[in-house]
Each structure stands twice: as structure tokens, then as C-alpha cells.
Amino acid sequence: MFLMGIIVVSFLGSALVTLLVRHYLVRQRILDIPNERSSHLAPTPRGGGVSIVVVFLSAVLLFVQRGAISTGLGSALFGGGLAVAAVGFLDDHSRVSAWLRLLIHFAAAGWALWRLHGMGPLHLGWMIWDWGWVGQFLALVGLVWMINLYNFMDGIDGLAGLEALCASGLGGLLLAWNGLGGLAQAAMALAGASAGFLVWNRPPAKIFMGDVGSGFLGFVFGVLAISSAKERPWLIWPWLILLSVFVVDSIVTLIRRLITGVRWYEAHCSHAYQHAARQWGSHSKVTLTIAAVNVVWLFPLAWGACVWPAAGPVFAAVALAPLACAVFRYDAGRDTSAKEVTRPEAEVRVPAEPQV
């Protein structure tokens, strides 16, 4: 009953805060103006992910106070998440140096690992490998990558929010099934907050998440995965499986851009999901298809990795292989114009004054 209350309150709180934030952004004219790299056609308020940050971090404080999660996990999520969200908020309002953003991302990741007492041993199915300082370094880089990965994948209406809803909601079920009630509550609070944001971000989006929300979500998922694996080492594989759509698309896109010699660090519109949205002429179709992949394909495999921990790496390989084929099919990493297809969904104009 308490868990259901968490979801409902997080949903309602996030939906309300998003509405208020949208009013503020429209009044301040903090808009994402379409350009040659954009997948939208109308100026749209940017930075609505503040609602997810506010609601989730409030829930984290409640969970710590109730003893549902440890103070270490709570401070990792709150301190590191607040830092990532703050630099994202500033970047949404007035561009921040890429080097400064990266420095803060590393600081937040380092803080989280310190509060979690480092990365736990790696469960390889047939053995558990205590990878020492190598694991800590890879965990640090991996957390920073998750922050930026999620930002890269926030490029069409509803995608980042719906992925967060699926991954946190389904992940919360697996955490509860594995006896990690506190972590399950945190994941479900994130699911509720993401669902509330989607009320306004579903296609055609009335507000965008912005760096403040996307970077924050990537950080939180990374921390939840590391904390889960500290308790149950095999849970690193279910988290990888649940997030694999974003992981595969972002990695393949980055590698292809590196190979072709383009400036990989510059903004672009060459992810597989962006190509698919242009080919299909719809953000909704792509977003809902990815949600279906999460529920129908990835969740059963993630559940299997929990039931048969020794086969966790195998389940992960089975999950990732067809996704890799799909992102190659949609030319991940190939630069093209975002204006190839005109989307009817994008014809919505932001009102001069926000309307409820």
C-alpha cells in the first residue's frame, strides 16, 4: 500500500511541478529553438526535468528518514544528483562550458562512489571477480558515461521519459522480487515522477526535459545499478538489460562517429532512434515501439537473469544482440538532416502565455 502511495504521490507531484515549471520557462522565453540538428519544428520550453529532480530527491529524503535506504545511498543520490541537475539547469538557461560540465559530472560520480564505498565485485556468471581499483575506475567512467548517454538519447518527444518509466518501474519490480524493498521504493518513486513528467512531454511535447532532467536520470540509474549490485552482485546484468536500448544506440553511434572522423563531441542528430523517427514520420511510433521492446523483450530477459544468476551475462548478450542489429539497420552514427520529414506532431506552437 505504501509503495502504491509513493507512485501516486510522485506522479501527481511531478505533473503539477512540470506545469508550474512550464509557466516559468514560457514567461522567461527559455525555449529550444529548432535548427538543422533538431527533431522538432516549433520553439518548445526546455528544462522541464526539474520536476523529476524535485520530486525524486524529496522522496529520497523521506526514504532516508524512514530508514528504507541507507544514509550512504541517500547522500550519493542527493548530493551527486543535485550537482548534476544544477549544472544541467544552468546549461539549459545559458550554455555552460563542456569542460566544466564534465568536471562536475566526474565530481558527482566520485562523490557517489565514495558514499557507496565503491563498486562491488563483478558477477560473471561462473565466478565473482573482485576487480579492485580497475572496477572503481570503470565505475567512475561508467557513471559519467551514463549521465551523458541519457542526455544523448533525449532527442525526440517522450523517449527519455518513457524509457525512465519503463526501466525504473520494471527494475523496481525486480528489486522487490529480490528482497531489496528500499531500492524498490526509490525506483518506483522515479517511475512515478517520470510518468508525471510524461503528461506534458508525450508527443507532441509541450515541454522538453532538458539537460537538468536527462543527466540526472542517467546518474540515478547508474547509482541504483551500482547500489543494487553491491547487495546482489548478479543484479548488474538486469539493469544493463533494462537500459540496453539507450546503451546500444549511444555506444554504436559514438563508435561510428569516431571511426568516420567527425567531431563526435558536437551536437548531432544521427542516433538510430532519430533516423527511425524521420523515416517513420512520427515520434510517437518510435517511442511506443521502444517501450514495447522494454516490456515484451527486455523485461523477461532481465527477470531470467534474476532467476538464473549464473546465466546473467548470457541473458545480457541475447538482449543486446538484436538491438545492435537494429541500430545498424537505422544507420546509427550517420549524419543527416533533421528536416528530412515534416512531422504533423511538431506543428504545435508554444503559446505567448502558458495555458493550463
pLDDT tens readout for residues 260-295: 877 766 777 889 999 999 999 899 999 999 999 999
Give the separation between CA 297 and CA 75, rounded to whole angstroms.
Answer: 34
Residue 50's H or E segment, with its range, is: helix 50-66
Cα 308 to its chain centre, rounded Å, is 27
CB-CB neighbours of 41 under 10 Å: 18
Cell of 105: 559530472
With 70 as the cut, is the pLDDT of residue 343 above it?
Answer: no
With 60 as the cut, is the pLDDT of residue 355 above it?
Answer: no
Dihedral angle of Cα 240, 241, 242, 243, to the nearest 10 degrees: 50
Q: Are 338 and 278 in contact (CB under 8 A)?
A: yes
Structure letter (DSSP) for residue 205: P
pLDDT digits (tens, 9 = 90+) for 8-45: 999 999 999 999 999 999 998 888 776 555 555 578 89
Give the separation between CA 168 and CA 341, rounded to whole angstroms.
Answer: 32
Cell of 82: 543535485
With 90 as the cut, is the pLDDT of residue 112 above it?
Answer: yes
- Least confident piece of the model among 195-199, 229-233, 347-351: 347-351
Claim: this prediction has a pTM higher than 0.85: yes
Q: What is the pLDDT, as a whole number, of residue 40?
A: 53
| Rg from Cα positions in the chain | 19
- Least confident piece of the model among 144-153, 163-172, 275-284, 336-345: 336-345
